[in-house]
């Protein structure tokens, strides 16, 4: 069972609908956040909620709580896995969709250490507890 020990979190306005990026790494896009789309993206942290922009098509969303994206930048957080098993203590690497894997793809940064084992399962359904590494930390 995954768990969290929050460290530092920050709120950002989303550049687009990020409801499918919950518990995945996101990147900065100017002053907003966007979904990670490549392993070479600089993932700033893990999205903790399902934010949408203020104006979502014909539905106007009001109030900051309705659209702000909360990003955990440090601490232990739940992160979506790529569906493969991850051993406790293993380094984890960001994938092209912002999830994590114990297998490093070319140029993929190490983003943390698995605090507990995560069983194999369906992509998009398995969460791992990961101790986040600060950006720029040595692999």
- pLDDT one-digit tens code per residue, 9-42: 999 999 888 989 999 999 999 999 999 999 999 9
- Burial grade of 85 (CB within 10 A; 0-12, 13-18, 19 or more): middle
Cβ neighbours, 10 Å, residue 113: 16
Q: How confident is the model at residue 59 (pLDDT cuts 50, 70, 90)?
A: low
Tell me the sheet residues that pair with 10: 71
Element (H, E) at 33: strand 32-35
Q: How confident is the model at residue 58 (pLDDT cuts 50, 70, 90)?
A: very low
Tally of CA atoms within 13 A in the half-sphere of 21 that contains its CB: 26
Q: How confident is the model at residue 56 (pLDDT cuts 50, 70, 90)?
A: low
CATH topology classification for 5-132: Virus Head Decoration Protein; Chain: A, (2.40.300)
Task: State the alpha helices, DSSP H only, in 2-71.
Answer: 64-67
| Structure token pair of residue 123 | 């992509």
Domain segments of the chain: what residues? Answer: 5-132
Closest CA to 24 of 114, 127, 113, 106: 127
Q: For residue 102, what is the DSSP state?
A: S
Beta-carbon contacts of residue 138 (< 8 Å; ≥ 6 apart): none
Q: Are 79 and 130 in contact (CB under 8 A)?
A: yes
pLDDT in tens, 81-129: 999 999 999 999 999 999 999 999 888 889 999 998 888 887 777 888 8
Q: What is the pLDDT of residue 9?
A: 93
Task: State the alpha helices, DSSP H only, in the chain.
Answer: 64-67
């Amino acid at each position: 069972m995954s768990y969290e020990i929050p460290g530092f979190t920050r709120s950002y306005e989303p550049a687009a609908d990020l409801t499918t990026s919950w518990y995945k790494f996101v990147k900065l896009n100017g002053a907003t956040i966007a979904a990670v789309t490549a392993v070479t993206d600089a993932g700033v942290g893990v999205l903790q909620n399902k934010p949408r922009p203020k104006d979502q098509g014909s539905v106007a969303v009001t109030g900051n709580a309705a659209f702000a994206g909360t990003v955990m930048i440090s601490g232990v957080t739940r992160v979506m896995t790529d569906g493969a098993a991850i051993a406790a203590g293993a380094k984890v690497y960001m994938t092209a969709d912002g999830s994590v894997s114990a297998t490093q793809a070319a140029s993929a940064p190490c983003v943390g250490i698995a605090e507990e084992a995560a069983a194999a399962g369906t992509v998009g359904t398995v969460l791992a507890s990961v101790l986040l590494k600060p950006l720029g930390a040595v692999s």
